[in-house]
Amino acid sequence: MLPKERILEKTFTLFHKQGYNATGINQIIEEAKVAKASFYQHFKSKEDLCVAFLNQRHSFWFDELEKFTLNAEDLNSKVLSSFDFLIFMNAKENFRGCSFLNILSEIPPDNSKIRSVIQSHKSDLRNYFREILKEEQLSDHVYLLFESCIIESQLFKSNELIEQSKKIIQTLILK
């Protein structure tokens, strides 16, 4: 693997598990087995590395979501299986929650570079539900339920609210 790929692979693991602030550049350099000069050849700062990580995480997350919902029989089933995807990710990542929201809570309010990547990810998720449901108010409602499920399941290490949200969505979609 090339140095940049090793750096991003370690960052993917460390930022997701430890968080942005608790992970230092020296730890990433050491665990990726790259020279400091090589690190700075690819990333000017930790902030630039974070942007690259979030872009990589965005692609990974949406690819996994698309694969997970691919066999849904209809659009309504696709929405419900999106919530099942959260349960799958909670099991896979031990209720770590949303990397984007986790990093948002760690950056200063004036960090517009990282914030804009996070906003773009959330806009894409909102649009994901709009494309499926075709109705703005309903899709926004589903999006907000989805986001709250991510936070609540991380906080309580439980999928209970996800299951409850699926029942709510079924009543909303059937109207």
Domain boundaries, the chain: 1-43, 45-174
Write down the pLDDT at residue 1. Answer: 86
| pTM check: above 0.75 | yes
The Cα–Cα gap between 16 and 103 comes to 9
Does residue 163 contact residue 149 with C-beta atoms inside 8 Å? no
Instruction: Indicate the length of the chain as a whole number.
Output: 175
pLDDT for residue 175 = 62
* Secondary structure letter of residue 108 according to DSSP: -
CATH architecture under which domain 45-174 falls: Orthogonal Bundle (1.10)
pLDDT band of 17, cuts 50, 70, 90: confident
Q: Per-residue pLDDT averaged across 1-28, rounded? A: 94
**Exposure string over 96-109, b if 16+ CB within 10 A, otherwise e:** ebbbbbebbeebee
In CATH, what class is 1-43? mainly alpha
User: What is the average per-residue pLDDT within 115-137?
Assistant: 97
Give residue 8's pLDDT band: very low, low, confident or very high (50, 70, 90).
Answer: very high
